[in-house]
A and B are shown apart, each in its own frame.
Chain A
């Protein structure tokens, strides 16, 4: 099977869906032929599909999402790109008040086949406005589905599923995984929402995480294995819907749970997962649930500061060792 980068796998998914259904189109800032997207995900697509279907927009985040929404409810399938996840703040009304609620508040009269792509995460010294991980905000908004792919194989299968979903999907990527490679089939495949991927099986502890932290958790698990601790690593792949079963079954097996994401700690997705597990598997827990997150600060710029901000393999290992 050929190895592909996360970036290329994602582009392949977008391309296949655009070939399959001519209602699918992409809009966003600098996604077209001159730039190909800030992270080059859409490079070459404008040349292939034309400037109408790979549409450069003005710097108008609220109108980008709003216009994509208007197109979605009238027969198109837009993929709106917001250049950085931090900039979704400028489109919060259209995302959270409009797209998320439209079906419900109109009593099911319409559905919203809309994908909103954006990118989270630090590690590139881009400081406080280009490095955040804000997925929990959207998990707190009923009506949005949320995909959080961390691997090349997943990103392709999930973007295709997102585009075919009749609901608004927040499709979040991570800056530091675009260049990571994995085997990705050339043949078409879809990955269903709400199905976690278990990267390592283990008996002593469950490590649940997202984005770059899945990669760090795998590294941690491999090192822990050498120390005689068997860790199970779970990547939910989508936060809404959430694969509770895989997580709960794993906790029932291991009795211990470490949650790791790059989000600032308070109100993070890890807090919600911890709450779910204590509600559904309290009697199976042999130790307190551990959370490994960023501190409650803005993302700092200077390399040594950013390095302590973002959790790493060693912090995951220490958290595991505290409870195993």
Chain B
């Protein structure tokens, strides 16, 4: 089997057009308040996912799980650049997107446990975790199926004359599906206010990207559709945030779509029972050394946006929120059998 380790050893800018400004200078420009925001979002997603992992260990989570552990900086950086009224389109690995966008963690955890208090009343679970009123268009079990929906939501923002934008998350694997080409093309010809966020974690289940992608980056593909793109360190929330900010500005001003490839890595296997033995140890160690939470915490401390004590206080507060949410989820009731028939159709007015 081809080794995936070579191009994975660090962030590459595989010939992609540069969209983001240089890293070091730009971090200076990010306000202290925003650094705290980025730290908080990244950590919140981490603590949420650790709780999910614990609940799963207690056998309270039915079905399968695609944990977001390791990729937190992507959801944090992207959503920190959005307004509440903006939209995100999620994937099968969606917990992080939903939590970072500001969904209610109680309803989110209850959903994962299949409870009637869940955001989808227990009808969706992990792969369809969604909170519409927080601006999440939906998580989807079909890889790459979110791209056309995101394009359409962006079309709607444009036609309704709002200044809303849509950020669409998808994986490296998804970028090999036909919807990628169809949707990028559509977004480019109509100058849609959409930001394509590739979460390149270098694997689609067990298949390394070296077996499925001929180019050094996925961002390169955007060029064929005349879409500006860049590659960023997806474990660095500040880099993700800055690239997104620029893309959001372009989208809001009518400048059309952008694509941001966030290079990142799963801390765990693909899904519930995957021990991820197919990944070389050096590669895993390299990425674990670039931990998303530590990275943003170090930047925030270094830039004096936070003191160690403040960082700890934030952690304690978030942990408490997550614990309360878990308690709520565990104590909630399962749906009643007759609820199986609810919500197939909306009532006709």
Contact = CB atoms under 8 A, between A and B. Distances in A.
Contacts of A228: none
A177 interface: no
A63 B148 contact: yes
Contacts of A69: 148-149, 152
A75 interface: yes
Interface string A60-87: 1011111111111111101000000000
B344 A103 contact: yes
A304 interface: no
A318 interface: no
Contact of B152 (A68, A97, A106, A165): A68
Contacts of A104: 123, 343-344
A5 interface: no
B153 A73 contact: yes
B189 interface: yes
Interface in A79-131: 93-94, 97-98, 102-112
Interface in A34-70: 52, 57-58, 60, 62-70
B150 A107 contact: no
B1 interface: no
A57 B183 CA distance: 11
A143 interface: yes
Instruction: Assign chain A's interface to a size class.
Output: 35 or more
Interface in B249-269: none
B6 interface: no
B346 A109 contact: no
Contact of B182 (A58, A68, A110, A111): A58
Nearest to A59: B182
Contact of B346 (A64, A76, A103): A103
B260 to A, nearest CB: 20
B147 A66 contact: yes
A62 B148 contact: yes
B280 interface: no
B149 A109 contact: no
Interface string B144-172: 01011111111111011000000000000
Contacts of B101: none
Contacts of B122: 107
Residue in A63, A165, A167 with the greatest tally of chain B CB atoms within 10 Å: A63
Contact of B148 (A76, A94, A108, A142): A94
Contacts of B118: 107
Given A60-B185, A67-B148, A70-B154, A25 B346 contact: no
Instruction: Assign chain B's interface to a size class.
Output: 35 or more
A259 B297 CA distance: 70
A295 interface: no
Interface stretch (B9-17, B125-133, B235-243, B326-334): B125-133
A229 B130 CA distance: 58
B273 interface: no
A164 B347 CA distance: 11
B159 A25 contact: yes
Nearest to A60: B182
A142 B128 contact: no
A93 B146 CA distance: 11
A143 B346 CA distance: 9
A57 B128 contact: no
B179 interface: yes
B34 interface: no
A145 interface: yes
Given A62-B178, A63-B186, A166-B348, A109 B150 contact: no
A75 B87 CA distance: 13
A143 B344 contact: yes
Given A65-B148, A70-B155, A60 B186 contact: yes
A62 B145 CA distance: 9
B229 interface: no
Contacts of B141: 97
B120 interface: yes
A62 B182 contact: yes
A165 B153 contact: no
Interface in B1-34: none
Interface string B109-126: 000000000111111100
Contact of B150 (A70, A75, A143, A193): A70
B160 A109 contact: no
Contacts of A71: 152-153, 155-156, 159
Nearest to A167: B345
Interface in A130-175: 142-143, 145, 164-167
B220 interface: no
B175 to A, nearest CB: 15
A107 B124 contact: yes
B67 interface: no
Given A63-B183, A105-B123, A107-B118, A70 B148 contact: yes
Contact of A70 (B131, B133, B153, B189): B153
Given A58-B186, A63-B186, A67-B186, A108 B343 contact: yes
B110 to A, nearest CB: 11
Contacts of B142: 93, 97-98
5 A-B pairs closest in CB distance = A66-B148, A70-B152, A67-B152, A107-B121, A63-B182
24 contacts: A62-B148, A63-B183, A66-B145, A66-B148, A66-B151, A66-B183, A70-B89, A70-B149, A70-B152, A70-B156, A74-B87, A75-B156, A76-B155, A104-B123, A105-B123, A105-B128, A106-B138, A108-B342, A108-B343, A109-B133, A142-B344, A165-B348, A166-B348, A167-B345
Interface of A: 25, 52, 57-58, 60, 62-76, 78, 93-94, 97-98, 102-112, 142-143, 145, 164-167, 193
Interface of B: 87, 89, 118-124, 128, 130-133, 137-138, 140-142, 145, 147-157, 159-160, 178-179, 182-183, 185-186, 189, 342-349
